[in-house]
Amino acid sequence: MKSKIDLYKLGDGFHPDSSAGPLISKVQYDKVNTFIKKGIAAGAKPFIHEPQKREKGYFVNPVVFCDVQKDMEIVREEIFGPVICVGKFETEEEAIDLANDTPYGLGAAIYSNDGGQCIRVSARIDAGTVWINQYGVLSNQSPFGGYKMSGIGRELGSQALSSYLETKSVLWNVGEQAYWPL
């Protein structure tokens, strides 16, 4: 993981050599940094954490926490910043329970060489998108949106069009006798 993080380059979000650009606003920058501080205060160990203030832009270097517990705020909340929480589990069932023990469900990732396991686990995770052996890749043909408190509706794919439609039902009795339920 460290070698992958070392390749992560912050910079102009439109430049092809950049892995990520700045966060959208100072409010989000402050929110992400507050989560990082709360995680450290709660006892999560930052395996990778190199805070660095830049002169311009709301950049946050990636942080990888280990030794996280399921009740920690950094585990339970949607941070929307470059923060990864790595926890331990013993069984597949425990991993599924941990993944679903949140009021959110925007996305999840499964890493495994066992195809059967990937199918079983992805079917049971309560998230709008489940990536297998990858993360963050989107397709215009696949709907994107969350479960639970992670949003309403879908972006992308044919399901994205539903928010622009008004559905009407017309029920027409074409028989000879008019029917009225009274």
Which helix (DSSP H) or strand (DSSP E) does residue 3 occupy? helix 2-7
- Which own/partner pairs from 126-133 qualify as long-range (CB within 8 Å, at least 24 positions apart)? 126/99, 126/100, 127/99, 128/154, 131/107
Contacts of 103 (CB under 8 A, 6+ apart): 76, 148, 149
Decide: 66 and 45 in contact? Cβ < 8 Å.
yes
pLDDT value for 179: 66
182/57: higher pLDDT: 57
| Nearest C-alpha neighbor of 73 from the set 39, 107, 108 | 39
| Nearest C-alpha neighbor of 39 from the set 60, 10, 64, 5 | 64
Does residue 176 surpass a pLDDT of 90? no
Q: How far is Cα 142 from Cα 144, in angstroms, rounded to an integer?
A: 6
* 178 DSSP 8-state letter: -
Residue 54: CA atoms inside 13 Å, Cβ hemisphere, count? 14
Does residue 21 surpass a pLDDT of 80? yes
Share of the chain above pLDDT 90, in %: 64
Average pLDDT across the chain, whole number: 90
- What are the tens digits of pLDDT across the range 82-133? 999 999 999 999 999 999 999 999 999 999 999 999 999 999 999 999 999 9
